[in-house]
Amino acid sequence: MSLHKNRELSKSISTEPQDLIADEDIPMPSFARLTGPGRSAIAVLMLHGKGSKTVIQRCFQPANPAPFKTGQIRYGLWTGTQPEAAKKSETSAESNEQPAESVVITPGSNHVFEIHCHGGPAAVARIEIDLRACGAVAASDVNDWNPSDQSLLIREAETTLAECTTTRTAAIAMDQVRGTLLDWASDWRTSLTTVNLAVFRVELKSLLNAAPCTARLSEPFRVVLTGPPNVGKSSLLNALVGFDRSITLDMAGTTRDVLHANTVIAGLPVRISDTAGIRDHAAVETIEREGIRKAQLAVGEADLLLLICEPLPAGGHSKTPPHPPEIPHLRVLNKVDQQPKSSHATDDLADPFDANTNALSGEGLAELMVTIGARLGQHLPDAGKPALLNERQWEIMKQSSLADSPKQITELLDQLLGHNHG
């Protein structure tokens, strides 16, 4: 936004602070950048602690003078501390004024404010300078940014958010930074009775169903391609990630180790692994045998298996590779261009495939990626819903699912909230 437009907007904004706190003894807050370092489209900083509202009122001119409310989106201008300094200096010239920045402020609970600004280093540095000028302390300036009045759940959510690599996973963590899980646990802690215990268990089940994913948002989902030799696993990996990660040859045993490639599917971080073709053959050489062993280990650690088969010249398809039945999987028929016209294997309801692809031509790849994304994200919470973000939270809630009485569950909710945490 230009300086001229900023000034015009400023004229329409009341410069009188709202409910300004006059007590100079209020402790100053802390701030930290939540988005990664370097240039980006948008940067997000968090200001936390008693006195945060005073700092925001001093530096921010909202386009709407209505009082702040938790969770709302407030657009306006970041004028910083300059207007006050200009009042004290009669020699200040308008040409020396620093242009106001267009920003969005989101008030949270417990003295928390998110500051969303342009992601350029200059814009972020300007806001950080203004925050320091107001007495706020940067997280990088102290050994442990851990305000005494900040909830353990909020701190854990901030840690997760800083480690997320995609917007979809970061959005889930950001909901918890804003206090979604904190509010959910606090509400049930004070309201749980035998009357509403069944309702609590329904909500808890939803949390626990999502926990295998939400408790590791900073890690990529592990998608493993497995199948017999020469069914096109390596070609399919290359097609999914968009570059030649695996060597492809028209011969069995080309892939001897587990090869990984990272990508993003449906907004989720994904690590796709290509494995050695699994076959039962007494003449398999030692190196290939080791590749098969590693392939089987990768299969056992997968979040989702792609079971790759190919059409057979006489009709039908190659055998589905062995796999642990408890691991989610998709059955993929690759090389569909080689399927005999007389074959109707893919239409056989007793033996259906989740996707039909041709890795070399790209046929069916878009549909396969949509299917992968839907399967991986099927238990992820909707926007604004609570989520368990780490093993500590997950373990406590698993204990809650086994508890018999509201009193026991309330005690566990106390643990979740960190009331017994030093």
Q: What is the pLDDT of residue 280?
A: 55
Tens digit of each residue's pLDDT (9 = 90 or more) over 325-379: 889 999 999 988 887 765 544 444 345 899 999 988 889 999 999 999 999 999 9
| CB contact at 8 A, 333 and 311 | yes
Q: Which residue is it, tokens 């016209």? A: 341
The C-alpha atoms of residue 353 and residue 5 are separated, in whole angstroms, by: 58
Order of strands, edge to edge, in the sheet holding 221-226?
A: 259-265, 268-274, 221-226, 304-309, 329-333, 355-356
Q: Where are the domains of the chain?
A: 3-148, 151-215+388-422, 221-376
Nearest to 17 by CA among 73, 79, 71, 70: 79
Architecture of domain 3-148: 2-Layer Sandwich (3.30)
Per-residue model confidence (pLDDT) at position 291: 61
Query: Over the chain, what is the mean pLDDT?
Result: 78
- Rounded Cα distance between 111 and 76, Å, is 19
User: pTM here?
Assistant: 0.64
By mean pLDDT, which of 40-44, 125-129, 147-151, 155-159 is the weakest? 147-151
Q: Does the pLDDT at position 251 exceed 60?
A: no
Distance from C-alpha of 196 to C-alpha of 177, rounded to nearest angstrom: 27
Ranked by mean pLDDT, the top range of 4-8, 15-19, 85-89, 237-241 is 237-241
**Whole-number Å distance between alpha carbons of 388 and 101:** 36
Q: Among the CATH numbers 3.40.50.300, 3.90.870.10, 3.40.1160.10, 3.50.50.60, which is that of 221-376?
A: 3.40.50.300
pLDDT score of 393: 97
Q: Model confidence at 142, in pLDDT bands (50, 70, 90)?
A: very low
Q: CA–CA separation, 202 vs 184, rounded Å?
A: 13
Span 405-414, average pLDDT? 96
Is residue 243 over pLDDT 80?
no
Percent of the chain at pLDDT above 70? 73
Least confident of 133-142, 153-162, 337-346: 337-346
Phi, psi at residue 88, to the nearest 5°? -85, -10
The pLDDT of residue 231 is above 70 = yes
Q: How high is the pLDDT of residue 233? A: 86
Residue 305, pLDDT score: 93
Torsions phi, psi of 421, nearest 5? -95, 135
Instruction: Look at residue 157 and give its three-state secondary structure.
Output: helix
What is the Cα–Cα distance from 413 to 422, expressed in whole angstroms? Answer: 16
Distance between CA atoms of residues 273 and 270, nearest Å: 10
CA-to-CA dists, residue 96 to 3, 91, 204, angstroms: 12, 10, 57
Burial class (CB in 10 A: 0-12, 13-18, 19+), 333: buried
